[in-house]
Amino acid sequence: MKKCIYILALFIFFWGIGGCTATPAAGMKSMPGASGVGESHSESTPAPAAIEPADTPDPMPGLHTYEIQARLHDDMPEYRFAATGTVQGSDEWAYGFVLGLNVYDESGKSLLAADFSEILDGQVVGYHVYNEMMDTMGLHVVDVNFDEYKDVIILNTFGGAHSNTWYNCWLWDKQTSLFVPSKSFAEICNPAIDAEKKCIYSAGGSGAAYWGGMIYKFIDGEYVVTNELETGWDGLAEKALVNGEMEIVRQVSYRDNDELLEREKQYYRDSGLWQLDHPHWYWQGGHHADQWLE
């Protein structure tokens, strides 16, 4: 029933806005083998030609689709990745909704169909994302587990007072040739990928007194915090993963001592591990962060 209502609502919306082209949160609904958000099984029908990404004006209110083509590996064919959503109004700080993600192989067969939509108060909604990012919906095809095969991520949140971002992620399993959802990646706030060091940096998600961060590594199929810098009004605690447990390796109190606080911030800016002045520690989402997700 939900699918029927969803399709009818989209048809009425599409017919009403006339001239807006489109192609058909917090759980992930992954349905490998279906060809579209609506779980249609027309796998033998070739998918429409892909649209190359380009610099375009902000998407107009209404249904919106963003598509890219990419290879998961140099010896693999190009696949087509299509994100679908709706834009609500013209203000960049208004919310749009990311509704779905579909991936097709070179013959048009569906490899991944993920539906984030639901009906709420008679309206089709999905993942809440500020309009600023609704042009691409945070869709990236990038190796996030450092196995030399690219994976796919898409925004599931961009909003709140701190404008933080979180992404859904599907890892490519080269053994089964399937996309596998990664729940642990979806917990990483404002991720920045470091392919050289094989880690992911995470900043933001906390209050005004927070200036630390987390470092994640992919261990035994999960993203695990290996280093954490907790900061607050009173002081800081640096932690590291030791024998499978997080342990405090450095602790400093700087309550009401601005000079000591600034000295500690400089210490972590100069730290070879943390380098907190590096721009990959981004504190707000937006297109400026795209460079750390490619």
Interval 82-132: pLDDT, tens? 999 999 877 777 899 999 999 999 999 999 999 999 999 988 999 999 999
Q: How does pLDDT run across 129-141, given as a tens digit for each residue? A: 999 999 999 999 9
Identify whether residues 59 and 135 lie together within a single domain: yes
pLDDT value of position 114: 98
pLDDT value of position 130: 94
Output the CA–CA distances (angstroms, integers) from residue 173 to 65, 155, 182, in the order listed: 26, 21, 11
Output the CA–CA distances (angstroms, integers) from residue 146 to 105, 143, 193, 218, 291, in the order listed: 22, 6, 10, 8, 17
- End residue of a domain, out of 160, 187, 214: 187
Distance CA 83, CA 223 (A): 24
Identify whether residues 266 and 154 lie together within a single domain: no
> Confidence band (pLDDT; 50, 70, 90) for 44?
very low
- End residue of a domain, out of 154, 187, 220: 187
Q: Over 60: is that where the pLDDT of 255 sits?
A: yes
Two tokens, residue 87: 């834009």
Closest CA relative to residue 82, chosen from 35, 50, 105, 60: 50
Distance CA 51, CA 139 (A): 14
pLDDT value of position 191: 98
pLDDT value of position 189: 96
Q: What is the mean pLDDT of residues 221-250?
A: 97
Distance CA 165, CA 280 (A): 14
Q: Which residues contact 245 (CB under 8 A, 6 or more apart)?
A: none
Identify whether residues 265 and 168 lie together within a single domain: no
Identify whether residues 43 and 126 lie together within a single domain: yes
Distance CA 44, CA 53 (A): 26
Q: What percent of the chain has pLDDT over 90?
A: 72
Q: What is the DSSP letter of 264?
A: H
pLDDT value of position 90: 78
Distance CA 278, CA 194 (A): 12
Q: What is the DSSP letter of 208?
A: T
Identify whether residues 268 and 280 lie together within a single domain: yes
Reduced to 3 states, what is the DSSP secondary structure of residue 160? coil
Identify whether residues 177 and 194 lie together within a single domain: no
Two tokens, residue 68: 């890219």
- Cβ pair 287, 130 in contact under 8 A: no
Q: Over 60: is that where the pLDDT of 19 sits?
A: no
Identify whether residues 199 and 172 lie together within a single domain: no
Range of the domain at 235: 189-294
Closest CA relative to residue 280, chosen from 270, 266, 290: 290
Distance CA 6, CA 118 (A): 8
Identify whether residues 228 and 275 lie together within a single domain: yes
Q: What is the mean pLDDT of residues 163-192?
A: 97
pLDDT value of position 14: 37
Reduced to 3 states, what is the DSSP secondary structure of residue 32? coil
Identify whether residues 119 and 262 lie together within a single domain: no
Identify whether residues 181 and 193 lie together within a single domain: no
Q: Average pLDDT over the chain, rounded to whole? A: 84
pTM of the shown model: 0.79
Q: What percent of the chain has pLDDT over 70?
A: 79
Identify whether residues 183 and 292 lie together within a single domain: no
Task: Please state the separation of Cα 170 from the chain's center in Å.
Answer: 10
> Confidence band (pLDDT; 50, 70, 90) for 59?
low
- End residue of a domain, out of 187, 203, 218: 187
Q: How many domains does the chain have?
A: 2
What is the bridge-based pairing of β-strands 235-242 and 222-231? antiparallel
Hey, CA dihedral for 174, 177, 180, 185, is it positive or negative? Answer: positive
Identify whether residues 22 and 33 lie together within a single domain: yes
Dihedral angle of Cα 14, 19, 24, 25, to the nearest 10 degrees: -70
Distance CA 59, CA 134 (A): 7
- Cβ pair 116, 127 in contact under 8 A: yes
Distance CA 127, CA 85 (A): 9
